[in-house]
Structure 1
Amino acid sequence: MASGSAGSRVSCGRDLSCVPEVADTLAAVAKLGFDFLCMPLFHPRFRREYELDPAKSRPGAQTRSDLLLCGRDWNTLIVGKLSPWIETDSELTTERRNSEAALVQELSFCAYLGLPAFMIPLRGPHCANLARILLNHIHTGHHSCMFWIRVPLLAPEDTREDLIENESFKQMDDGSNDEKTWAWWHSFRTLCDYNKRICLAIEIGEDLPSDTLIDKWLGEPIKAAILPTSIFLTNKKGFPVLSKAHQRIIFRLFKLEAQFIFTGENRHNEKDLRSYLQYLEYLNQNRPAVLMVLGAGRGPLVNASLRAAKQAKRKLRVYAVEKNPNAVVT
């Protein structure tokens, strides 16, 4: 999993909710141009039981063999995902204890496989137990796995469609609910003592928060951005594009060298997601270059740079710094 840098290729992954054949799926994903695969380590509907008999003593393996892929593939091409049914902060004692045991099992198996990252969704403000278990795993284990905390920019109940249905659209205008999910993340990382191995994977939805809150999000340790195919619009030729507001976020994520993860089904002409990758690469190659001229003087370097950018048909953002105030007139 390579991180992108200015002018280099963007690192993109494919998110799948269920992977029956891991080797074949990984090969198919790589053929489309993706750099890594996000997948659950255990079947998402396989609810292991650790509290009640006789299910808690069920014999046999809990998931697939690690020999289906070579060690190098596990170490570089797979990002694990937590099973969706795990609720470590549930109010039900049996469910909470069962989820705790399942979380410990999945974290341990992730360390055994040597995965580069493991994705954990944050669904609400109650996350103290989850933070406790994860931090204990980090402190007691001998592994280097990063933990990507998946957080949406807006809570599902605050999206535009839901607000229209419930006739409470005014709350969207004043931004009173915008910071809800940021508060979830802030509470979680505080409970985890700002551990450097706990990073952020933001999920960008169709609706976006205010520009002020976006600035706040982009100041966090973002390692990945999740892009649902539902946020893409369709241009006149039938290909996927993003709105101007979404493009501005993507350009800023390029600067942070974030990796991008595509989730959801194809919603456009082609049968695969190749057009989405091509569009993101197009944005990366066409983002404005930044030039800083320190000691611009009368501006010969600035003028030459602007002429060169015009000839090359490239966008250029120039910062000219000059201590002599008289040069501004020139």
Structure 2
Amino acid sequence: MAPSNMLDPASEDFNETRPSFYIGQHDSERLVPLNDDQYNQVLTAGFHFVTSPITNSHFRERVVSLWRSYLSEANNHGLSEEEKSNPSLPGPIVPTLTDKDTALFPGDDSSTSVAYSSPWIDLCSEDPVVASISRQVLNLEVAYANFCGVRSVIVPGPRRDESGWQISQYARAIQETFLIATRINLIIHMPMYREPGLEEKEPLFSGRDIQEEISEGEIDIFSAWDSWHTIRTVCDYNIRLYVETTAVRIPRRLPERELQTRWFAEPLHYLTLGPNTFQTNGAGFPSLTRYHQEMINMYMRLKQAPWMILYDVGPSQDELSKIVGGTASTTDFPTLAEAQSIQEQPQSRMNAHVSYMRYLERQQPPHTALESPALTSFQDWLQSPLQPLADNLESSTYETFEGDPVKYDQYEKAITEAMAEWKALGKPTSSLQQDGAPQQELIVAVAGAGRGPLVTRVLRASEKTGMPIQLWALEKNQNAYVYLLRQNKQVWGGKVNVIQTDMREWNGPVARGHTDRTTPVDILVTELLGSFADNELSPECLDGIQRHLARPHGLSIPHSYTAHLSPISYPKIYADLSSRIVGDPNAFETPWVVLLFAIDFVCQKAPGHHRFQQAWEFVHPVRLPFVETWEEGHGRRKVQRGGGGAMNLSAGLNEHNARQCHLTFVCRSRGVIHGLAGYFESVLYKPQMPDKELVEISTLPEQIDKKSKDMISWFPIFFPLKKPLYFPPDSELEVSMWRQTDDTKVWYEWIVEAYMWVGPKTRVKVGASEMHSSRNVACLM
């Protein structure tokens, strides 16, 4: 458990954890790596690292010469156009690198170098010869960088997105490099979108003008993301793309929020900003718009915050070339003339753009309670759901739950409201009137007491309202039972009846004066909720104990709870699950508990269709006239095979807790989903007096601040898809889910289908997932 001050947004230690800006420098005209003196000059200007080209202009000239010689030779031999297009015609082979082709060599700092592959190649070329040469160049460069010990290589992304097969050609070339370089992380440098004026200026070796390829007219802001999605899909979400994947070039005009969050969900490693991204403020210094600042602050909230690269903003190549130790001197001891030159050089100062980024670093908004260091460590980290019925929890697990005051404050508020109304309405209790007592005592039971936090809150509520109680605390975990006995002696003053039992097998309380029979329970308090409300079998547990509730006035806290779903894009976790599938065949069939963070909610709110939709609801107690008759006829045995008409050929004793839903979500922009995000809401207490508000808790992103701000007890649940589901613009995603049971366990089944409207009344299915089932990892009753 983190120290308490780490969870307090007002503490200095809490706010000091804001991420630092790690800023690099890139010069598109740099042809050779910097020497030590030049590198120090860049560091003095405020940068942390620089990019280094793998090859130089000599290599480029050699490749261009090879290509031109090939074309000339084909023409000189008088080949016809048909012969030139013969696929069996041998193409040019790029010879291996020589020491004249590169200034990058193995060294102590190789593992910290960020290499940049040649921007003049064209992996997307329609000319197969140009595409082949480009692929060879990339392979040679990446293989050599891998030999030198470089860990990260930035590769310029596709320059256009119009042709799908050309993007596939690019993606196939990237996939090949992973076979050649076994340790390299490839970083694909993509623009956030194709903003005119921000495209690359580097001419291709084949002589085509990049500028002519930027089409006029309406801009498709999702085309660049589409290209990136194709690349990572062809590479099968390669595990070496898990963090260092995409360097997003930030445009001068930011796109709409939907695209910003789409890139937020991708495994970003760099944010790159050039001179066109910045504006000049009134004092003549570079600055960014408020919208740029907000976007950067959002991206820096990621657990692994992206680094930044400022390109073409200085120090310029001319400034660095004048530094002694570069071309001016090759000796350890400068001559008198060189020494004079050193004195005449201007004093180094921080780069103006870096200085401004440092200002933004200091201006980051303080972290919220949900962004504490302790919780940040759980971002996008998969956890198997708890099975409190099957497993006994450890003390540290209970302690983690108890670290959330919001949940217990809401529970105390609900219990207090219930007791106050009970008293105000003069409702009868189940206990006998004690001699000399001003009123009867409430019979209260805390089922699943754990280490007793709810017991403490019940006692507090009793003191606040002046409502006397008799209190029972039930816990099946024999280890936690020992702790409860100690608490009762040292903290609660012996006021609690501590019982070690499974709540479903409890025979009920025996109140003072009721020596010959059990007593109905007036208020039953439980905290059995899971990340999806019912996934820790709260309904099944309450079925077994609610028979002790007094009729008709007995209360259950919580009163009800609802499960909610929303489709999400979650490439980071999909890559994680893909790497686990060999050792865990149920990885994609498990509903995982995870602090969702690097995600994109792909759906929008539309008339009749919300972004988060309710799947189903449970209400307690179940007041049905035939419950007692049912138990008399079928008994309370947990297992009874043979008929009953249940879906799973069981007796059907738990069939009333089965659920199903069919939800339709609207997606305005095209995208991809990797699974379903699950949340819940609960009404802890529903007031019986008019003009009083519900006491609620919620994990829904749109409601948590309203109903239970800063509550951290529950992370969302994630239902993954085995294969990502791509959908076109203006699609509808239909989610079907079932809560299944066979009287011994509970599991979920889910499927997602994508539809597109092709007419006023006609839809066509454009994609669908497999049917998923968590039966192999079901929650045991």
TM-score by length of 2: 0.33
Which one of the candidate residues 43, 52, 68 is aligned to 2:56?
43
Which one of the candidate residues 360, 379, 392 is aligned to 1:283?
360
What is the aligned partner in structure 1 of residue 777 from structure 2?
Answer: none
**CA, structure 1 residues 202+58, in 2 after alignment: closer, same or farther (shift >3 Å)?**
closer
- Measure, in 2, the Cα distance between the counterparts of 1:158 and 1:266: 20
- Measure, in 1, the Cα distance between the counterparts of 2:193 and 2:114: 24
What is the aligned partner in structure 2 of residue 12 from structure 1?
Answer: 23
1:263 matched to 2:311: yes
- Measure, in 2, the Cα distance between the counterparts of 1:191 and 1:279: 39
What is the aligned partner in structure 2 of residue 226 from structure 1?
Answer: 272
Whether the 8 Å contact between 1:153 and 1:202 is mirrored in structure 2 is yes
Q: Specify which structure has the higher proportion of helix.
A: 1
Whether the 8 Å contact between 1:42 and 1:62 is mirrored in structure 2 is no
Letter in 1 for 2:99: A
1:181 matched to 2:194: no
- Measure, in 2, the Cα distance between the counterparts of 1:59 and 1:79: 20
- Measure, in 1, the Cα distance between the counterparts of 2:354 and 2:33: 23
- What are the superposed Cα offsets for residues 269-295 of structure 1, whole Å, 9 maximum, x if unpaired? x99762222222222222111232843
Whether the 8 Å contact between 2:55 and 2:103 is mirrored in structure 1 is no
What is the aligned partner in structure 1 of residue 186 from structure 2?
Answer: 147
Quote the offset at 1:38 in angstroms.
1.4
Quote the offset at 1:129 in angstroms.
2.9
Aligned length: 286
Whether the 8 Å contact between 1:19 and 1:25 is mirrored in structure 2 is no
- Measure, in 1, the Cα distance between the counterparts of 2:46 and 2:120: 31
What is the aligned partner in structure 2 of residue 292 from structure 1?
Answer: 369
**Structure 1 unmatched runs, 5+:** 299-321
Whether the 8 Å contact between 1:154 and 1:181 is mirrored in structure 2 is yes
Compare 214-223 and 273-282 and name the one that shifted more.
Answer: 273-282
- Measure, in 1, the Cα distance between the counterparts of 2:97 and 2:233: 39
Whether the 8 Å contact between 2:96 and 2:140 is mirrored in structure 1 is no
Letter in 2 for 1:192: C
Letter in 2 for 1:247: Q
What is the aligned partner in structure 2 of residue 73 from structure 1?
Answer: 109
What is the aligned partner in structure 1 of residue 290 from structure 2?
Answer: 244
Aligned partner of residue 38 in structure 1, secondary structure: strand
Which one of the candidate residues 20, 29, 43 is aligned to 2:42?
29
- Measure, in 2, the Cα distance between the counterparts of 1:113 and 1:57: 19
- Measure, in 1, the Cα distance between the counterparts of 2:180 and 2:197: 38
Letter in 2 for 1:80: A
Whether the 8 Å contact between 1:239 and 1:275 is mirrored in structure 2 is yes
Aligned partner of residue 108 in structure 2, secondary structure: helix
Which one of the candidate residues 183, 192, 195 is aligned to 2:238?
195
Which one of the candidate residues 133, 148, 154 is aligned to 1:113?
148
**CA, structure 1 residues 93+21, in 2 after alignment: closer, same or farther (shift >3 Å)?**
closer
Whether the 8 Å contact between 2:25 and 2:311 is mirrored in structure 1 is yes
Quote the offset at 1:42 in angstroms.
1.2
- Measure, in 2, the Cα distance between the counterparts of 1:249 and 1:152: 15
Aligned partner of residue 89 in structure 1, secondary structure: coil
- Measure, in 2, the Cα distance between the counterparts of 1:113 and 1:220: 29
Aligned partner of residue 226 in structure 1, secondary structure: strand
Whether the 8 Å contact between 2:24 and 2:309 is mirrored in structure 1 is yes
Compare 288-297 and 214-223 and name the one that shifted more.
Answer: 288-297
Whether the 8 Å contact between 1:153 and 1:182 is mirrored in structure 2 is yes
Aligned partner of residue 127 in structure 1, secondary structure: helix
Higher alpha-carbon Rg: 2
Whether the 8 Å contact between 1:16 and 1:39 is mirrored in structure 2 is no
What is the aligned partner in structure 2 of residue 274 from structure 1?
Answer: 351
Letter in 2 for 1:29: V
What is the aligned partner in structure 1 of residue 177 from structure 2?
Answer: 137
What is the aligned partner in structure 2 of residue 88 from structure 1?
Answer: 123
What is the aligned partner in structure 2 of residue 312 from structure 1?
Answer: none
Whether the 8 Å contact between 1:39 and 1:81 is mirrored in structure 2 is yes
- Measure, in 1, the Cα distance between the counterparts of 2:366 and 2:96: 59
Aligned partner of residue 253 in structure 2, secondary structure: coil
Quote the offset at 1:111 in angstroms.
0.4
- Measure, in 2, the Cα distance between the counterparts of 1:291 and 1:57: 56
Quote the offset at 1:249 in angstroms.
1.1
- Measure, in 1, the Cα distance between the counterparts of 2:147 and 2:26: 22
Quote the offset at 1:261 in angstroms.
0.1
Quote the offset at 1:251 in angstroms.
0.4
- Measure, in 2, the Cα distance between the counterparts of 1:205 and 1:273: 24
- What are the superposed Cα offsets for residues 288-327 of structure 1, whole Å, 9 maximum, x if unpaired? 11232843449xxxxxxxxxxxxxxxxxxxxxxx978569
**CA, structure 1 residues 251+323, in 2 after alignment: closer, same or farther (shift >3 Å)?**
farther
- What are the superposed Cα offsets for residues 7-66 of structure 1, whole Å, 9 maximum, x if unpaired? 343111001121446214322212212111113211257244366579966995342344
**CA, structure 1 residues 178+21, in 2 after alignment: closer, same or farther (shift >3 Å)?**
closer
- Measure, in 1, the Cα distance between the counterparts of 2:152 and 2:290: 31
- Measure, in 2, the Cα distance between the counterparts of 1:152 and 1:59: 30
- Measure, in 2, the Cα distance between the counterparts of 1:246 and 1:272: 26
**CA, structure 1 residues 273+16, in 2 after alignment: closer, same or farther (shift >3 Å)?**
farther
- Measure, in 1, the Cα distance between the counterparts of 2:190 and 2:107: 29
What is the aligned partner in structure 2 of residue 301 from structure 1?
Answer: none
TM-score by length of 1: 0.75
Aligned partner of residue 300 in structure 2, secondary structure: helix
Compare 213-222 and 272-281 and name the one that shifted more.
Answer: 272-281
Quote the offset at 1:216 in angstroms.
0.8
**Structure 2 unmatched runs, 5+:** 1-15, 74-91, 199-210, 316-346, 371-403, 411-682, 686-693, 697-705, 708-781
Quote the offset at 1:110 in angstroms.
1.2
Whether the 8 Å contact between 2:270 and 2:306 is mirrored in structure 1 is yes
Higher RCO (Cα < 8 Å, 6 or more apart): 1
Letter in 2 for 1:79: V
**CA, structure 1 residues 137+280, in 2 after alignment: closer, same or farther (shift >3 Å)?**
same
- Measure, in 2, the Cα distance between the counterparts of 1:109 and 1:59: 8
Whether the 8 Å contact between 2:25 and 2:49 is mirrored in structure 1 is yes
Quote the offset at 1:237 in angstroms.
2.3
Whether the 8 Å contact between 1:151 and 1:201 is mirrored in structure 2 is yes
**CA, structure 1 residues 295+213, in 2 after alignment: closer, same or farther (shift >3 Å)?**
same
- Measure, in 2, the Cα distance between the counterparts of 1:36 and 1:128: 32
Whether the 8 Å contact between 2:275 and 2:311 is mirrored in structure 1 is yes
Letter in 2 for 1:278: S
Letter in 2 for 1:33: G
- Measure, in 1, the Cα distance between the counterparts of 2:97 and 2:155: 27
- Measure, in 1, the Cα distance between the counterparts of 2:149 and 2:97: 25
- What are the superposed Cα offsets for residues 185-233 of structure 1, whole Å, 9 maximum, x if unpaired? 1111111111132311000011221111111111100000001122212
